[in-house]
Amino acid sequence: MIGRDALGKPGKIASYVVVTHQHSTIRRAVDRLLFLHEGKVVWEGMTHEFMTSTNPIVQQFASGSLDGPIQYF
């Protein structure tokens, strides 16, 4: 398919849905991502923005902290 990638560059593109909690997979496999929490999209953006997000849910996940809005039982 000819189209534009997440950065707007023209070329052949493909879309995939990847469900993962692995940071390494996120960094190497995707350009753009959605972060879901409790069935709702709580953040979306480019992969390079993920690690610097100010969203507290994303920050907790990205840091691997047990403290924050995501409750582990």
Amino acid found at 48:
H
Give per-residue pLDDT as tens, 17-55.
888 888 888 888 888 889 899 999 999 999 889 888 999
pLDDT reported for residue 31: 83
> If you count DSSP H runs as helices and E runs as strands, how many of each does the chain have, helices first?
3, 4
- pLDDT confidence tier of residue 1, bands split at 50, 70 and 90: low
Q: In the predicted model, what is the mean pLDDT of residues 4-22?
A: 76
At 48, which helix (H) or strand (E)?
helix 47-50
Please give the sequence-ordered ranges of beta strands (E in DSSP) within 1-73, or none if there are none: 2-4, 10-12, 32-37, 40-46
Instruction: Decide: 60 and 68 in contact? Cβ < 8 Å.
Output: yes
Per-residue pLDDT, averaged over 60-70, amounts to 90
